[in-house]
A = this chain, B = another copy of it.
Amino acid sequence: MGSPYGLELVDNCVYCKLRTDSFFCGLPKESLDAFEKLKFTAAYPAGAVLFVEGQAPRGIYMLCKGRVKLSTTSADGKTLILKIVQPGEVLGLHATVSNTPYEITAETGQPCQLNFIKREDFLRFLQSHGDACLKAAQHLSRDCQSAYQQIRSLGLSHSAPERLARLLLEWSHGEGADEGGTRIKVALTHEEIAQIIGTSRETVTRTLADFRKKQIAVLKGSTLMIRNKPALERLVGA
């Protein structure tokens, strides 16, 4: 196989180190072996589209390496980003489980490795492995939660600075701070940030400039530096 798109492939789920903290975490070896037999591993370049909203579900994708962008687009071309998916998560689960069209679009943001499992295979797998089915339910409930989060953010925090502040805080979650603040890597353009919080690119630029002026946070290149977390928390009204 080599290293397509500059990726080192992981080729066995049983020994994958993600196993400890992700979807199949804690599954008995037996279930994992069954899973292993069904999967198709593939590598994708940056910018590849895995599925598009409206398509009939083909199956699930499990992300091993890279980042995937989940988004939805309106008839007039506006795009909203729902989530940036991290390795260990599963894509297309709801559509596959309920056999309804994918309602979101998944696009790789960088070279990625994914395992694909066909719909029928996956459903059969869930039916015969109760423990995996429970995991799937848990995964779905986490998806629901993050969706509800976003609904709160879009529906209740009407001002753009507030929503941006909320996003920055979310990113800073679980990151260590040194003197001078929290340093975070974000590989997103202003445009994409705008699409996450439902505003325009210009507003993101302006608001970030404002945050910089007020010494709250500085985004330079792909490094975000949070200098005054309490100020952010005050902005979101918590």
A84 at the interface (CB under 8 A from B): no
B82 touches A151 (CB 8 A): yes
Q: Does chain B have a CB within 8 A of A237?
A: yes
The residues of B that contact A104 with a CB separation of less than 8 Å are 148
Q: Which of A141-155 contact B (CB under 8 A)?
A: 141-145, 147-152, 154-155
Q: How far is the CA of A84 from the CA of B219 in the complex (A)?
A: 41
Produce 1/0 per residue, A177-216, CB < 8 A to B. Answer: 0000000000000000000001000000000000000000
Q: A156-B78, A237-B74 are in contact. Are A151 and B147 (CB under 8 A)?
A: yes
Q: Which residues 131-182 of A sit at the B interface, judged by CB distance below 8 A?
A: 131, 133-134, 136-138, 140-145, 147-152, 154-157
Counted per complex, copies of this chain come to 2
Question: Number of A residues whose C-beta is below 8 Å from B?
Answer: 46
Which A residues from 70 to 126 make CB contacts under 8 A with B? 72-76, 78, 80, 82, 93-95, 97-98, 100, 103-104, 126
Interface majority SS on A: helix, strand, loop or mixed? helix
Residue numbers in B under 8 Å from A94 (CB-CB): 140-141, 144-145
Is A54 at the interface (CB under 8 A from chain B)? no
Residue A238 is within 8 A (CB to CB) of chain B in the complex: yes
- A127 lies within 8 A of chain B by Cβ: yes
Q: Which residues of B contact A76 (CB under 8 A)?
A: 237
Is A130 located at the chain interface by the 8 A CB criterion?
Answer: yes
On whether the beta carbons of A74 and B148 are closer than 8 Å, the reply is no
Residue of B nearest to A75 (CB): B237
- Also in contact, A151 and B98, with CB within 8 A (given A103-B145, A130-B130, A144-B144): no
Cα-based distance from A93 to B148 in the complex (angstroms) = 14
Going nearest first, the 10 A-B pairs with the smallest beta carbon separation are A94-B141, A147-B147, A140-B140, A74-B156, A155-B198, A154-B154, A80-B155, A98-B141, A130-B130, A75-B237
5 interchain pairs, CB-CB under 8 A: A72-B152, A97-B138, A98-B141, A151-B151, A151-B154
Residues of chain A at the chain B interface (Cβ within 8 Å): 72-76, 78, 80, 82, 93-95, 97-98, 100, 103-104, 126-128, 130-131, 133-134, 136-138, 140-145, 147-152, 154-157, 198, 236-238
